[in-house]
Amino acid sequence: MEIKNFINGHYQEAKSKKTIPLYEPATAKIVGQIAASNKSDVDEAVQAAKAIYPWWSARTPEQRSQALFKIAERLEQSLEELARAESKDQGKPYHLAKEIEIPRAIANFRYFASLILHTQESARPKADASALSYTFRKPIGVAGLISPWNLPLYLLTWKIAPAIAAGNTVVCKPSEITPVTAYLLGDLLNEAGLPHGVVNILFGLGSEVGQAIAEHPEIPLISFTGGTSTGKKILEASVPKIKKTSLELGGKNAALIFSDSDLSEAAIQSVRSSFQNQGEICLCSSRIYVQEEVLEKFLEKFVRTVSLLKIGDPEAKETQMGALVSKEHREKIESYVALAVKDGGTILCGGSRPKLESPFSDGYFYQPTVITGLPKNSRVLREEIFGPVVTVSSFKTEEEAIELANDSEYGLSATVWTKDLSRAHRVAQKLNVGTTWVNSWMVRDLSMPFGGLKQSGLGKEGGEYSLEFFTDTKTICIKI
């Protein structure tokens, strides 16, 4: 497979003619080559996006809405192909891609296609009726969209859909580790009739093509999802032009399990929240805190369920965990497990690579791993691991639970398990995170603001919040 850039509606090689290899995580085999783009490819994509911008931004919301509905429809016709490609490229179970992630990518287009038909501006007459002020929103220009490898099409379209719905044109950069569904998207956009140049997709290394997008003087806004250290580089690159920047970054999410919760449900859902997509979701629970008196009971149910998770062929129906995304990522995870042992932690299950038959014997699989007994200052409890490793610790009181959860540089999300409604509100309001789930996990309403606090990000995505980011709001005041 040759992954080429999609510029102005056409596929083309990187100007450098250089490529980088594409690996299949489940087999560790090279299955393709990816265009290794650089600044000159970004320049060309920006010119294509700029050329169509006056026309696209002048379409009515109804016209843009129709275009987005057509994209959704075209993606839906290719749901299975996209799900298969996503699973092969990222290592995730096929059924996860087919039932959750690609449907969500489709929903992203439908949601914003509909939302732009129903937005409202505000207006305020002066008390003596001598003047009227009102707000007016306009698109900004060429948006730079940079996305990570864990939910490739889902997260990329979560940016493309609101950006173009609001009237911008875009230059996107998906992760070089999982480029395939973004590559397939180009043809689907053409088949849906989206005018050439509205969406341009570039492939290659973050340090080259991503950095060139972040620095580009004709890209006035950047929407980025990825690691916190990369987010800081993007922020720095945006300073000279004071670009509008939205950063969705890493997390170290706590799950608080109170003794009055439905313990069985909390344990089962915590298995899902810790290990879905191999734990490679920014919102996965990575620190579980259980109230002292139910710790043993929770662990018994939790560890038993984790040990039964089926790891292997991502395409197989029974598979619950596929391969990690890359060799380097598995090595990073192994280094944290080794550190946990050094810090005195006890591994209750997992902690090594599973033994699988060919063709998966060399794939980047890793067993779901549960660790207890770590000291509070262990790096394993403080740094983002972003894989199938979860720690379990105990707490005595509600105050201690809140303190432990908030004792982190990150502030992305949390889950709270309790049957006490007052406690649920009280605790959720005190947690320094962008999203708190109570007795649930990953239930999403696309209109709600999504985004982390502290080192987990800057700005909010979702519904009106995305449209707000992808437009400039002006105030117009008329004397009557």
Binding site for ligand NAD (CB under 6 A): 146-150, 155, 173, 175-176, 206-207, 210-211, 214, 225-227, 230, 233-234, 248-251, 282, 384, 386, 412, 452, 457
Residue 375 Cβ vs ligand NAD, minimum distance, rounded to whole Å: 24
Task: Give which of 445, 463, 449 is closest to 166, Cα–Cα.
Answer: 463
- 315 catalytic, yes or no? no
- 409 catalytic, yes or no? no
Residue 409 Cβ vs ligand NAD, minimum distance, rounded to whole Å: 12
Closest residue to bound ligand NAD by CB: 206
Residue 316 Cβ vs ligand NAD, minimum distance, rounded to whole Å: 26
Q: Which is nearer to ligand NAD, 74 or 330 (CB)?
A: 330
Of the residues 176, 280, 282, 461, only one is catalytic, namely: 282
Residue 390 Cβ vs ligand NAD, minimum distance, rounded to whole Å: 15
Distances (CA, A) of 315 to 75, 79, 90, 273: 20, 15, 12, 21
CA distance 413 to 402: 13
Buried b (16+ CB within 10 A) or exposed e, 164-188: bbbbbbbbbbbbbbbbbbbbbbbeb
Q: Which is nearer to ligand NAD, 286 or 471 (CB)?
A: 286
CA distance 413 to 444: 12
Residue 321 CB: number of other CB atoms within 10 A? 26
Q: Which is nearer to ligand NAD, 224 or 258 (CB)?
A: 224
CA distance 179 to 121: 38
Answer whether 228's CB lies under 8 Å from 455's CB. Answer: yes
Of the residues 44, 176, 248, 280, only one is catalytic, namely: 248
CA distance 2 to 262: 50
Q: Which is nearer to ligand NAD, 228 or 319 (CB)?
A: 228
Residue 345 Cβ vs ligand NAD, minimum distance, rounded to whole Å: 22
Q: Which is nearer to ligand NAD, 167 or 251 (CB)?
A: 251
CA distance 14 to 12: 7
Give the position of tokens 């920014």. Answer: 282
Residue 357 Cβ vs ligand NAD, minimum distance, rounded to whole Å: 29
Residue 385 Cβ vs ligand NAD, minimum distance, rounded to whole Å: 10
Q: Which is nearer to ligand NAD, 382 or 426 (CB)?
A: 382
CA distance 206 to 218: 19
Q: Which is nearer to ligand NAD, 152 or 312 (CB)?
A: 152
Q: Which is nearer to ligand NAD, 220 or 226 (CB)?
A: 226
Residue 88 Cβ vs ligand NAD, minimum distance, rounded to whole Å: 18
Which active-site residues does the annotation give? Answer: 248, 282
